[in-house]
């Protein structure tokens, strides 16, 4: 319910109306106490954005969620603050996961059974997520709860800070197996952006050197970038007879997730942990017999919390970590000021999926 202290802002929103079509609309946003108005400046395109744009989501999902502004990975500037946490002019990373208690301004224990039971915010039963049913960062005025904005230290450049969301998802998943990573061996399946940033986090944030970390990929030119880990081609590696590992992380998704998951199961030692980060629209057959026989624990994770972002931002102050992450950032950004320009950038990203991320700099 509104009160006298609430204010309003007009937002220019680039909304996906149907696959392949983005149009500009103006939407009035309400600003309440403990909320922050942000101008998104630098964003990156996720495969989830491309699945919406190209119509690869299930028809019922598209019908439910469109029209909607895309993009959930990004940073911006605070233009208005109703919070003591940040001030106008601050450069901030935007946390796209919106638990219902934060959106509605109610105590967490009054939110839902998941929140009451102490589960992290990304499992809120009534929560929302930018660019997935809620207008994302493709707008010039984004209103967020104060807990969803984190100030970026001056030591972290935009080109690194914009990667915080994807890194935070990796951090959230890896924190589950922190004890196993501290003393064991790990493998990462996937030589794309998710695999690269996950492997980089295993190395820089959880301390695994090359002798304890192996990355599996299908393209030698991509694998060459993983110079901090052992590298193996999935086409020629003998998974059944390989030395066993404690943690296996699947970052492939799509049609390759079936083989990656089953190869990971082959490599895991008894009592090992399998983390699934890749996303696929189809059901995947997996080797449950060995999961049972080995006592393997399977963890699924695709989102993160403000706490995970805070840990990532701290880690990103490391020059060595920045140098590793910089490999995935293109030299040139895509500059966007209209809905048509955004659609063209999305089309190009979908048609030519580069190993590097596609980074958008909005000129509002």
CA atoms 12, 3, 79, 171: torsion sign? negative
Is residue 62 left, alpha or beta, with left meaning phi > 0 and alpha meaning psi from -120 to 50?
alpha
Q: One digit per residue, pLDDT tens: the chain, 364 residues?
A: 445 467 899 999 999 999 999 999 999 999 999 999 999 999 999 888 999 999 888 888 888 889 999 999 999 999 999 999 999 999 999 999 998 888 888 888 888 888 888 888 888 888 889 999 899 999 999 999 999 999 999 999 999 999 999 999 999 999 999 999 999 999 999 998 899 999 999 999 999 999 999 999 999 999 999 999 999 998 999 887 889 999 999 998 888 889 899 999 999 999 999 999 988 778 889 999 999 999 999 998 878 889 999 999 999 999 999 999 999 999 999 999 999 999 999 999 999 877 889 999 999 9
Token code pair at residue 16: 């996906």
Cis peptide before 67 (omega within 30 of 0): yes
Query: Tokens 């295993």 identify what position?
Result: 202
Kindly give the residue spans of alpha helices, DSSP state H, lying in the chain.
47-53, 59-65, 100-104, 113-116, 158-161, 164-175, 178-183, 193-204, 220-223, 257-267, 288-294, 306-315, 319-325, 339-351
Nearest to 317 by CA among 207, 181, 204: 204
Token code pair at residue 318: 């490391």
CA–CA dist 11, 39 (Å, integer):
9
Contacts of 364 (CB under 8 A, 6+ apart): 12, 39, 140, 337
CA–CA dist 255, 155 (Å, integer):
39
Query: Tokens 């403000």 identify what position?
Result: 306
């Amino acid at each position: 319910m509104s009160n006298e202290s609430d204010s309003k802002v007009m937002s220019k929103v680039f909304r996906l109306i149907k696959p392949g079509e983005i149009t500009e609309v103006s939407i009035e946003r309400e600003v309440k106490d403990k909320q922050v108005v942000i101008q998104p400046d630098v964003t990156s395109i996720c495969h989830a954005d491309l699945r919406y744009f190209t119509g690869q989501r299930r028809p019922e999902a598209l019908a439910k969620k469109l029209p909607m502004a895309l993009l959930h990975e990004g940073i911006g500037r605070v233009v208005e603050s109703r919070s003591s946490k940040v001030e106008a002019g601050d450069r901030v990373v935007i946390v796209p996961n919106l638990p219902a208690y934060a959106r509605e301004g109610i105590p967490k224990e009054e939110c839902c059974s998941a929140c009451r039971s102490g589960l992290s915010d990304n499992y809120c039963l009534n929560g929302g997520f930018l660019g997935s049913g809620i207008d994302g960062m493709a707008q010039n005025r984004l209103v967020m709860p104060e807990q969803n904005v984190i100030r970026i230290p001056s030591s972290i450049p935009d080109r690194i800070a914009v990667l915080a969301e994807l890194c935070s998802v990796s951090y959230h998943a890896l924190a589950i197996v922190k004890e196993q990573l501290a003393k064991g061996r790990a493998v990462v399946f996937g030589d794309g952006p998710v695999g690269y940033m996950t492997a980089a986090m295993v190395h820089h944030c959880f301390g695994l050197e090359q002798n304890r970390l192996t990355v599996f990929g299908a393209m030698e030119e991509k694998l060459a970038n993983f110079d901090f880990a052992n590298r193996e081609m999935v086409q020629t590696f003998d998974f059944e007879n390989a030395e066993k590992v404690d943690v296996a992380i699947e970052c492939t998704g799509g049609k390759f997730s079936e083989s990656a998951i089953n190869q990971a199961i082959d490599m895991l030692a008894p009592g090992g942990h399998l983390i699934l980060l890749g996303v696929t629209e189809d059901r995947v057959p997996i080797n449950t017999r060995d999961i049972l026989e080995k006592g393997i624990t399977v963890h699924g994770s695709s989102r993160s919390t403000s706490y995970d972002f805070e840990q990532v931002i701290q880690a990103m102050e490391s020059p060595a970590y920045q140098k590793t992450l910089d490999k995935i950032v293109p030299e040139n950004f895509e500059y966007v000021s209209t809905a048509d320009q955004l659609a063209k950038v999305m089309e190009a990203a979908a048609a030519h999926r580069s190993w590097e991320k596609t980074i958008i700099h909005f000129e509002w």
